[in-house]
Amino acid sequence: MNFIPETDSVPGAESSTESVAESMVVPAVHVATDDCIELRRLHRFFGKTKAVEDISFTVRRGHVFGYIGPNGAGKTTSMRILATLDLPSYGDAFVDGFSVVNDPEHVRRRLGFMPDSFGTYRDVNCTEYLDFFARAYGLVGRQRTERLAWVLNFTGTEGMAEKPIRGLSKGMKQRLCLGRALIHDPAVMILDEPAAGLDPRARIQLRKMIRELADRGKTVLISSHILTELAEMCDSVGIIEQGRLLATGSVEQIQHQRETHRELKIRILHNADGAGASLSAVDSVTNLIVDGELLKFEFAGDLEAQAGLVSHLVQQGFAVAEVESHKKSLEDVFLQVTEGLVQ
């Protein structure tokens, strides 16, 4: 099924058309940079509602950036602006060096957008669906054939290439939508809740595909409510609430910035009460509980200080059998940074 017929060019029309177009189009300004995504003091207001307020961050080429926030925080609005589906009230954003305000056409050629909900045609099969978008992006001949084959293979939908979309599962539809966003080989991928509604196996497979895209040099911005998966796949994250960016950086950096106490459990053989009395005299130890052989407490110190604390117990003659340190997860940091506010 062909959605857009290919037509032969009219002899002599090409040069005249190009000359008219060149006289009308303002040359795009391209800023070469290692940051493939950049938001510069981005604002978006809807009446009195500040959906996005003064957000700035960058994502380096080949990195995966996790965009985290409660519902209504401004994630989708930011992504729509990056995808040139909306304009900022103030500020600007850049995709592969091109402004979404001044050069939207150049941005669209370099960007693949996977929204949280997308339209499909029930009676169209996977190949026809992808072929339609390949033609829309101007792919022709051998180039289009090769991209179709690659996308079907990469997304694992080649076995269902001739199957109507109405017969696909939620996970396969998500794969097909990812393929649609990849069909023109963009440098940047914007993925809005791509794992929503997927079963555990489908989420794992999607995570592997996203990581492989980054390894191939593509820059990925992804939003998700499944924070454990973002922590595993992302090079850096940003936490947004009520339209404002609260924290940004690698997961480890944000954990370090926000971590004031770590929970420690130390198992002491033979004289746990004596070890507990020794620890209670340490200023950085709080909320100490002695439970049989187990000492449970909060410790205000880094890993080096923790090692010194354990060494101190050993030097005093206490038999330290086990040490368990609970480091704050991305979910812990998210709960600590945000307040659960909505607009």
DSSP H/E element including 266: strand 262-269
pLDDT in tens, the chain (343 residues): 444 333 333 334 334 334 333 433 445 566 556 889 999 999 999 999 999 999 999 999 999 999 988 888 899 999 999 999 999 999 999 999 999 999 999 999 999 999 887 776 778 999 999 999 999 999 999 999 999 999 999 999 888 899 998 888 888 888 999 999 999 999 999 999 888 778 888 888 888 999 999 999 999 999 987 777 777 788 999 989 889 998 888 877 776 665 556 789 999 998 999 999 999 999 889 889 999 999 999 888 778 888 999 999 999 999 999 999 876 666 666 776 666 554 5
Domain boundaries along the sequence of the chain: 35-255, 260-326
User: Which residue in the block uniquely carries the two structure tokens 């992006």?
Assistant: 137
Identity of the amino acid at 178: L
Q: Do domains 35-255 and 260-326 have the same CATH topology?
A: no
According to CATH, the topology of domain 35-255 is Rossmann fold (3.40.50)
Q: Are 176 and 124 in contact (CB under 8 A)?
A: no
Q: Are 75 and 192 in contact (CB under 8 A)?
A: yes
Question: Quick one: angle between helices 170-182 and 200-215, nearest 10?
Answer: 10
Q: How many CB atoms within 10 Å of residue 149?
A: 13
CA distances from 251 to 84, 233, 247, 260, 306 (A): 28, 10, 10, 15, 21
Beta bridge partners of 99: 94
According to CATH, the topology of domain 260-326 is Alpha-Beta Plaits (3.30.70)
Query: Token pair for residue 34?
Result: 């290692």
What whole-number distance in Å separates Cα of residue 272 and Cα of residue 238?
43
**DSSP β-ladder status, 98-99 and 90-95:** antiparallel
